[in-house]
Amino acid sequence: MIKAAITDPGFIPRGAQDPTILSNSKQFLKKLIINGGQNRSHNVPMEIKFCSTCLIYRPPRSVHCAICDACVLEMDHHCPWISQCVGKRNYRWFMLFALTLWVDCVFVIIVSACELYQRGVSEGWYGTLKLAFCTIAIAFISLLVGYHSKIIIENKTTNEDLKKFLKGYVINPWGQSSVVENFKIRVRPLHKFMAPHF
């Protein structure tokens, strides 16, 4: 959890305070052709948007987070549990946190069930309480881990999936030819900021 919370999610540095850009920010839109798709032969036009708060052109899949007040590369979501955006550079740590939480709940359920078996329900009220709490918690954590596993396989972000961003596309422009490749791309380690290329 700490690693997910302290790792930079991929904040994009802010642009300069140019008066021309500030006065005409609605005109700053641009189209970019990215090479993507399952067979790598399709060019998919993607619109590059101008962020009037950060004064930059946002790369594809980047979103401005109103809570962090910054644009984030491949922003997945803003997580209240780690009080940080989950993006390109800390997504793997977020998934590791969620999986570890799931394993911890399974462990507590097993230990609580063993305690109830040994002491009985009347003497093991604390174990009963732990068992009930972790059973409820593991249901929600399983949904979280299952949902994120699904979007990793599809090489999507939560933001793209919930807003149906890719609905009009025949193919996912960022999808690869295999599930393993999609997994490698979504959960890859990144250690330094890579400036987007336009």
Catalytic residue annotation: 79
DSSP secondary structure letters along 18-68: -HHHHHTGGG-EEEEEEEESSSS-EEEEEEEEEETTTTEEPPTT-EEETTT
Question: Please, is 75 exposed, middle or buried when counting C-beta atoms within 10 Å of its C-beta (0-12, 13-18, 19+)?
Answer: buried
Structure letter (DSSP) for residue 11: B
Q: Burial of 127 by CB count in 10 Å (0-12 exposed, 13-18 middle, 19+ buried)?
A: buried
**What residues pair up with 84 in beta bridges, in sequence order?**
79
The total of other beta-carbon atoms located within 10 Å of residue 163's CB is: 11
Beta strand 42-51 with 63-65 is unpaired
Q: Tokens 């093991």, residue?
A: 124
Q: Number of C-alpha atoms within 13 angstroms, CB side, residue 90?
A: 25
Please give the Cα distance from 179 to 152 (Å, whole number). 8
